[in-house]
Structure 1
Amino acid sequence: MWASEMEIITMVFIMNGYADYFQACGTRVVSHHLNQRIWPQTKIIGGSSTPYGAYPWQVELQAYKGGWEHHCGGALVSETIALTAAHCLKDFKKSQLRIIVGKHNLAKNDKHEKTYRVQKAIIHPDFRKDGPHSHDIAILKINAFNSNGIKFDSHVQPICLPEYYTKSNDVDWCTVTGWGAQKQDDMTSLPKVLQAASVPLLDLETCRHNDVYGGRHQFILDSMLCAGSLEGGVDACGGDSGGPLACQINGKFTLAGVVSWGDGCGKKNRPGVYTRVSYYINWIKKAMLELENN
């Protein structure tokens, strides 16, 4: 029997030095317990402040707008690769972007913080092909100071990638993190420290319902994932874009989604919509291999 494309890519992935990645990814030294509840927690919107190092795969993406400013989030998936949302990159050249790992407090330099320039950015070729928010995913190659890339430590670690594509949700609740606005349409309300919120995953049928996102300008594609209570109150918001939706599976955190879009922040019947990372796993692995070898 011929091996599937995914099996072949995974074998090449391992042969190119990623065997250790599968062992070490998705782990953390600093724990953080979030209540799984559907009412507001404090104000990601509805999130809570995190202890430093609890989400070591979280990266900050800054953009140069006359000075370096917080722009989006991202997720570290290897020593040299981070994932983010494609819409975070559309108005900027790579020279106008930089990545900060080990970041926690936007108001000061953190102990494990390091800043890197973007060496290369790949936006998914079908971005916006199937609607204004479709295929909203991009890969960043980090311009590290040496050929080995970022040095992992207690506060800087990669998150696991999904092993395969699935429409179903492997778990019921996941965690979204970021430094996004705590009030809708108010980018002056960015928190000082990284916020996290536990959000329930919704099936596609629920998200496509007429009372939710059915019949709107963007159809909910199989490549999207909805998370958040239909009662509202807890959600990602402006400035969280590109950040990780992390799900704990078999004791390790896996990147299930990338913060993409929504109608407002924390509104009733308007859950957050994420790029479903598993849908793009073959494209991601191929691009990572290409970037690592160039």
Structure 2
Amino acid sequence: MDATVFMSVVILHALNFVSSSPAHDYSHNAQRNTTQRYRRSGGYPKFPVGTDSGKKEEESECGTRDVYHQPSYSGKPVPKVVGGTAAPYGAYPWTVEIKAYRPNKRKFEHHCGGAVVGPRLVMTAAHCLQNEQADQLRIVVGEHFIEQRDQYEKSFRVEDVLIHPKFRKVGFYSNDIALLKVKPVGDQGIQFNSHVRSICLPEQSTQSKEGAWCLVTGWGAQNPDDVESQSQSLQVAAVSLLDLATCRRSDVYGGRHQDILDSMVCAGVLEGGVDACGGDSGGPLACEVDGRFVLTGLVSWGDGCAKKNRPGVYTRISHYVDWLEQARKQLGV
């Protein structure tokens, strides 16, 4: 099974096991108050790529959201999506769908996930793009239901693709990170609103806290044994960050052809039941820091979906801060 299937199946399990609860449904006023709390907070220091404090206010609101949602953090499996639950529309406004053109079907179909990191930039996994041309890709923001048009949905062409130059140089899943340059419509790139927003980027010194709960989102498979069982609506799962020593244990991922590198981060439940899965590759692993969500990882790979001692393995974004700055300049944004 290749990396895309592995990771997709992992997210799939995570999404299928997190249950929703009436206790998590808040009134309009509660949502409004939560939004105000996020906007008043000091926030995370790193703003979206390609923006600065002198630009529009909405461009500096990375990692915030107007639609509040709190999935279960129990890590216990429940029916349907692998460890996850259906997300309310707009609760994860930085999540994008990447579609690829399929000549045999003569249409664009779901391919991977990604994260908005600026008005002209989307980040995803390199393995999502290795066999794709820019003109054969579409970026869909404001997406929720795959088979119907959502209120804030908008599709963009891809102007350029930049894959990390050392992708697969230190193992099949190493340096699994890439950027997509959004082709503007008229003179405008991605416009931020209540349901479309960028996610903050971490600082290079950011250390992932073992045991911290983060959220992974995507439209991946709902059945780990059927990678075609794609979810028709955005799913979210809560996963716990694991330290590298645990992930490198011989009964986890130690001694495999792919070492667990410092540029990777593992997340999930060692008992199994919560993970990402097929179709989720490239999607964001978001952790809340000081009231804002920060892009901690990208869905990269794993051994199956939500299996015992087989957590999801993500590309660690803080490891690539310098490269991202260089890449931004190279892409001219």
Q: Distance in 1 between matches of 2:153 and 2:48?
A: 29
For structure 1, the residue ranges without an aligned partner over 5 or more in a row are: 1-9
Distance 2:69 2:50 in 1: 33
Q: How do 1:75-114 residues align onto structure 2 when only pairs under 5 Å count?
A: 75-114=115-154
Matching residue of 2:85: 48
Paired residue for 2:52? 18
Q: Partner letter of residue 52 of structure 2?
A: Y
* Residue in structure 1 matched with residue 24 of structure 2 by the alignment: none
Query: How far does residue 167 in structure 1 lie from its aligned partner after superposition?
Result: 4.7
Q: Residue 4 of structure 1 aligns with which residue? A: none
2:185 corresponds, among 124, 145, 162, to 145
Give 1:3's aligned residue.
none
Amino acid at match of 2:236: A
1:178 and 2:178 are equivalent in the alignment: no
CA contact (8 A) 1:243 1:259 kept: yes
SS of match in other structure, 2:214: strand
What are the equivalent positions in structure 2 for 1:117-156 lying under 5 Å apart? 117-156=157-196
| Contact 1:44-1:240 within 8 A present in 2 as well | no
CA distance, structure 2, for counterparts of residue 265 and residue 180 of structure 1 = 11
**Residue of structure 2 in register with 1:188 after alignment:** 228
- 5 Å-filtered alignment, 1:274-289, equals 274-289=314-329
Change (3 A) 1:182 1:145: same
- More off after superposition, 164-173 vs 98-107: 164-173
Q: CA deviation digits over 1:162-210, x for unaligned, max 9?
A: 0224454287110000000011242321111100000000000000000
Structure-1 separation of matches of 2:114 and 2:330: 20
CA contact (8 A) 1:45 1:182 kept: yes
**Quick one: which amino acid aligns to residue 194 of structure 1?**
L
Question: Could you tell me the percent identity over the aligned residues?
Answer: 55
Distance 1:171 1:268 in 2: 17
Tell me by how many angstroms 1:41 deviates. 3.9
**Residue 274 of structure 2: aligned partner:** 234
Match of 1:38 among 60, 67, 75: 75
Provide the rounded CA distance (Å) in 2 between the counterparts of 1:221 and 1:155: 35
Q: Per the alignment, do residues 161 and 14 of structure 1 end up closer, same or farther by CA in structure 2, a change over 3 Å counting?
A: closer
For the residues of structure 2 that align with 1:16 and 1:236, how far apart are their CA atoms? Answer: 29
Equivalent residue runs for 1:266-281 within 5 Å: 266-281=306-321
Change (3 A) 1:282 1:191: same
Q: In the superposition, relative to structure 1, how do residues 244 and 42 fare at CA in structure 2: closer, same or farther (>3 Å)?
A: farther
The alignment of Structure 1 onto Structure 2 pairs a total of residues equal to: 283
Q: Aligned partners of 2:309 and 2:50: how far apart in 1?
A: 44
Q: Deviations over 1:98-138 (max 9, x none)?
A: 10000000121111000011100000000000000000000
Alpha carbons of structure 1 residues 129 and 178: separation in structure 2 relative to 1, 3 Å:
same
Q: 1:252 matched to which residue of 2?
A: 292
Q: CA deviation at 1:96?
A: 1.1
Give the unaligned 5+ runs of structure 2.
1-44
Are residue 65 (structure 1) and residue 69 (structure 2) matched?
A: no
Which region of structure 1 is more displaced relative to structure 2, 219-228 or 146-155? 146-155
2: CA distance, partners of 1:154 / 1:258: 23
Residue 280 of structure 1 aligns to a residue whose secondary structure is helix
Q: CA deviation at 1:231?
A: 0.5
Q: Which moved more, 1:281-290 or 1:149-158?
A: 281-290
Distance 1:22-1:277 versus aligned 2 partners, 3 A rule: farther
Aligned CA distance change for structure 1 residues 57 and 42 (closer, same or farther; 3 Å): farther
- Is structure 2 residue 73 aligned with structure 1 residue 29? no
SS in 2 for 1:182: strand
Cα distance in 1 between the residues matched to 2:67 and 2:205: 29
For the structure 1 residues 16 and 126, does the alpha-carbon distance in structure 2 shift closer, same or farther, using more than 3 Å as the test?
A: closer
Within 2, Cα distance between the matches of 1:140 and 1:257?
Answer: 16
Structure 1 stretch 137-146 or stretch 13-22: which is displaced more? 13-22
8 Å CA contact 1:171, 1:247 repeated in 2: no
